Structure 1
Amino acid sequence: MEIEELKPGAIVKGKRWKEPIEIKKVERFEDYVRLIGSATITGDHIDQLILLNEIDNLSIEKIESDFKSKPCLVFLAFEGKRYRYASVYDPLLALNISKVDPLPHQIEAVYGYILKLPKIRFLIADDPGAGKTIMAGLIIKELKLRSFVKRILIVVPGHLKDQWRRELKERFEETFVVVNRSFIEAHYGENIWHKENQIITSMDFAKQEDVLPSLAASHFDLVIIDEAHKIGGRSVAFTFNPHP
């Protein structure tokens, strides 16, 4: 493969990647090139430096349209595209495809305030029984439908782990894995926080000395904390404000 073939829009494959990638940008340096693009199947972001002599090991992925694909697969492909951009035309998409009957204050909070923020960081402080779990589920569903989040962590009190998992599955068709001590022992030697994309764990488990470092080193696109007042600092500082 020649370096001139590496240009935006080209789809290349090589041993570096598990699937073909679509090139978005190419930057040429003295002994290497920088490729910026995305995987064609998973959509994962690619940003790598490649030596010039490695370009010979890459090849152009040729896509031929022979119109021989099965109609049912073509239909599913179009449906996938339609659902991908459905939120653009249906701002209440998660609400319409979930098994929930939300109250007005829940719709207002999620669609009127939270989802309008450029960076979502929100504290929901409604009274017990006001449906905070449903609001969290709607946020998860909307952000996933818009391809904004993939890895999600939910931290809850220990006695609520199964309740959260059950409600998210029954109401939103979202499957979460509960990470606890037995889960760690069953996957010895692995970073459990990287094994699954949708995780529920308890506060008491997450703060243990042998668990917290690996959790703190893991990246999640969205973190939800139930009863967040329980994770406050141990010390309380009082300040004096001379201007009431």
Structure 2
Amino acid sequence: MQARLMQRLEELEQERRLSPLPAVVVGGALVVSVGLLQRMQDKQQATTAMFARETERVEQVAMTAVMEVERNLGYEPTDVSNQKCGYDIDPRIPKTGQLWFIEVKGRIATGQTVTVSKNEIITALNKPENFILALMKVPPADVIDSNCSIRYVQQPFHKEPDFAVTSVNYNLQELWQMGTAPQ
């Protein structure tokens, strides 16, 4: 027992003499998200707000223009965009009572793509003879252009999107070339 006591006291004395070495940093990394940096610089809020206002303006200009075109063609258009039925306007032909289903896509004139929801694509595929995709290139807010043109694309989609797809981006220029002037 005496020997074990002496050995243990010796171990404790050695532990008292131990001193830790300073930490050595080999490397480091700081990961910061872009969103956080933009918020800290207050850029994201301004960009997002401007984008939302511009999108709303472009959509409203396009809807108003297509409604006017339909009236000029002698049809009776109704705005159903808030009903989320797969199209925005359903103009009725007065003499026959036939309905068209028009999905309006207004894009800023420099836009490259058109985003179409799965619901809009399925509606177009279910009513191929009556569905029209109306495209309008709208100038920026600070540009006055009375010659904004509208193109109507009939049967713009050829296949149903995959099950998990919520929307599809299409090339604006390709769709534009498929279209014709409203008639």
TM-score (norm. length: structure 1): 0.26
Q: Compare CA radii of gyration and give the structure with the larger one.
A: 2
TM-score (norm. length: structure 2): 0.32
More relative contact order, 1 or 2 (CA 8 Å, 6+ apart): 2
